[in-house]
Structure 1
Amino acid sequence: MALKLDVIALGAPEVHAARGFYAAAFSPVITDEGDSADLDMHGTGHLELSATERLAADAGAEPATSGFRGYVLTCAVSRPAEVRALMDAAVRGGAEVLKPARKALFGSFSGVFRAPDGAVWKLAAAPHKDTGPAAETPLPTETMVILGVAAPKASKAFYGALGMTADRDYGSKYIDFHPAKAAARLCLMERGVLARDAGTTGEGDGFPSMVLTYRAESREEVDALLAAAVTAGGRITVTTAEAPGGGYSGHFTDPDGFRWRVAHRGPSPSL
C-alpha cells in the first residue's frame, strides 16, 4: 500500500471555459468525460476539470472559497524561453500575472500566474539562460503541486505513513516525494512562505477547489489507505460507498485539510 498522486482534480466555475484555457496554455492531451475533462500533461501527470459545486459536493465540502487556496501548481519546462512562451499564452487566455517571468533564486527562471478558474500556477526552468529557442509546443518535464502546510516535517510524517517516500528534504523549508511513473510530484512548503513565493498573501479560507486522487488497485486498498490516513492524523470526510458500474471510493483530508479521494475503478471505465 502506497499513496500516489494519480490525478489533480480542479474545480472550475465553467468547465468548458477552463478546458479552453488549459488547452491553449499547455496543449495537453484532452479526453472529455461527460461534464468533466481529463488533461494528460504529456506523461507528467493528469489534471481533471470538474464543476466546482460537483467537486465540492463529492468531497463533502461547501464550494465557497476566498483568497489564497493554499497550494501552487507547478509546470517545469526546459528553458526560460518556454517559461515566457507559456506565460504569454496564459495571459492571452485571461490569466493574471502574479510574478513576471524572470531569473529567480538559485539560478532558476520562473513566473507565476492565476488562471481564470482561480488556480495559481508557477512556471519554472532550472537554467536561467537559454541554450536554444523555445519548442513550438513547450512540453512539461515535470508537473507538481506544492501544498502550503503548517509544519512540513509533520506533514512529511503523515504522507510517509501512507507509503510515500521523500526525495528532496530541506527540513522546514521544502520537502517533496518521489513521483510514480506518469504521475505528478507532491511537494510541501510552509503556507506563508509558499504564498510569498507565489506573489500573494497567505490569507484565504474555504474549499480550495482541488481534490487529489489516488486510483487504488482494489477495494481492500481503498479501505486500508483510509484507515491508515485516520491513524496518521487525517480525517474521513466521505465514507466509502459503491458507485454506479461497480466503482468504490472514499475521501479523507490530511492534517492541513487538503482533500484526497481514494477510488477503485471496478469494472466500469469511469471512476
Structure 2
Amino acid sequence: MALKLDVITLGAPEVPAARAFYAAALSPIVAGTGTGSGTGDPVSLDMHGTGRFELSATEQPAGPGFRGYVLSYVVNQPTEVRTVMEAAARGGAEVLKPAKKALFGSFSGVFRAPDGAIWKLAAATSKDTGTPAETPHPTETTVILGVPAPKTAKVFYEALGMTVDRDYGNKYVDFHPAKAATRLCLMERGVLARDAGTTKEGDGFRSIVFTCRAESREEVDALLTAASAAGGRITVPAAETAEGGYSGRFTDPDDFLWEVTH
C-alpha cells in the first residue's frame, strides 16, 4: 500500500478553452473533446508517459493570488523550453519569468496558464546538446507543493508509503514517482512563490485535486485510514460511486486535496 500521484485534475471555468490551450502549448495526447453540456466534459491529457492530467469544469472560482503549487514540465534542451514558452504565450499565458539560464547550469521559464495554474518549464542544461525537438515532449512532470515546513510534510507522505528521493531538509524534498506518474515535491511556500516569479499571498479554492488509483477497495480504506492517522482530514468517507466504483477524499495537513479511488 503506497500513495501515488496517478492523475492531477485542474479545474477550468471553460474546459474547451483549457483543452485548446494545453493541446497547443504542451502537446499532450488528448482524450475527450470537452464540448459536452454545460462548461464541457472532462478532458484527459497524457504527458507521453510522464504523468496524466485531467481538465474538469468548475463553477467555484479559484481563490485570489498564489494557489500554493507549481507544476513543472521538464524537457531535454533550452531551445525546447523556449519553444513551449512561446507556444504558451501565443495561447494567452502570462509569462512570469522569461526563459533563461538558471542556477547550477539549468535553463527555465515560468508562465501562468489562462486557467490560473502556474507552470515551470525546465531543462537540466543551459546549452543545446543536439537537435531540439520541433514538438517537445516532457522527460518528467512534477508538482511542487508550497508548504510551511517541508520536513513536516515529508513525514505525512512517508506515512502513506511514499519513498523520499532527494531530501534537503526544509529547502526541498521530493519522492520517487510511480511508473508513468507525476513526481511529488515539497518546498517552503515563500521560496516556491519567489522561484515562480510571484508572491506567496493567496488563499481560497486551489482548483486542483490529486488522484491515487488504488488496486482494491481495501486499499482505498487503508490509505484513508493512514491519512487520518498521520494528521490528514477525511473530507469524503469512502463509498460506492454512481459509476460503480469506490472512492473517498482527504486533505493533507496543508489542505491539499486527494482522492483515492478504485
Range into which the TM-score falls when normalised by the shorter chain:
over 0.9
| 2:85 paired residue number | 87
Deviations 1:193-231 (A, max 9, x none): 000000000000011110000001111111110010010
Report SS of the residue matched to 2:170: coil
> C-alpha separation between the residues in 2 aligned to 1:120 and 1:134?
24
Paired with 1:138 and 1:16, the residues of 2 have a C-alpha distance of 23
| Alpha-carbon displacement from aligned partner over 1:90-149 (angstroms, at most 9, x marks no partner) | 000000000000001111000000000000000000001112332011010000000001
The residue aligned with 1:125 is 123
Q: Which residue of 2 aligns with 1:241?
A: 239
SS in 2 for 1:65: coil
Give, in whole Å, the separation in 1 of the partners of 2:116 and 2:46: 20
Q: Distance in 2 between matches of 1:15 and 1:214?
A: 22
Distance of aligned partners of 1:140 and 1:64 in 2 relative to their CA distance in 1, 3 Å threshold: closer
Q: Does 1:14 align with 2:8?
A: no
> For residue 103 of structure 1, what is the aligned residue in structure 2?
101
Q: Structure 1 residue 38 and structure 2 residue 44: aligned? A: yes
Indicate conservation of the 8 Å contact 1:6/1:45, yes or no.
yes
Determine the C-alpha separation between the residues in 2 that align with 1:64 and 1:134. 36
How many Å separate the matches in 2 of 1:63 and 1:114?
Answer: 16
Percent of residue pairs identical = 76
Structure 2 unaligned blocks of 5 or more: none
Alignment partner, residue 255 of structure 1: 253
Q: Distance in 2 between matches of 1:63 and 1:180?
A: 31
> What TM-score results when the alignment is normalised by the length of structure 2?
0.96
CA distance in 1, matches of 2:11, 2:131: 34
- Does the alignment pair 1:5 with 2:5? yes
Secondary structure at the residue paired with 2:165?
strand
**How far off its partner does 1:64 sit?**
4.2
Q: Which one of 50, 55, 62 corresponds to residue 49 of structure 1?
A: 55
CA distance in 2, matches of 1:42, 1:10: 18
1:211-222 residue pairs with structure 2 within 5 A? 211-222=209-220
- Does the residue aligned with 1:73 lie in a helix, a strand or coil? strand
How many residue pairs get aligned? The number is: 256
Q: Counterpart of 2:162? A: 164
1:63 Cα deviation from its structure 2 partner: 4.5
1:25 aligns with 25
SS in structure 2 opposite 1:167? strand
Q: Provide the secondary structure at the position in 2 that maps to 1:134.
A: coil
Q: 8 Å contact 1:81–1:133 — kept in the other structure? A: no
Partner of 1:57: none
What is the rounded CA distance, in whole Å, between the counterparts of 2:17 and 2:62 in structure 1?
20
Task: Name the structure 2 match of 1:229.
Answer: 227
Separation in structure 2 between the aligned mates of residue 213 and residue 188 of structure 1, nearest angstrom: 17
Counterpart Cα distance in 1 of 2:24 and 2:31: 15
Q: Where do 4+ consecutive residues of structure 1 move more than 6 Å? A: none
SS at match of 2:244: coil
SS of match in other structure, 1:205: coil
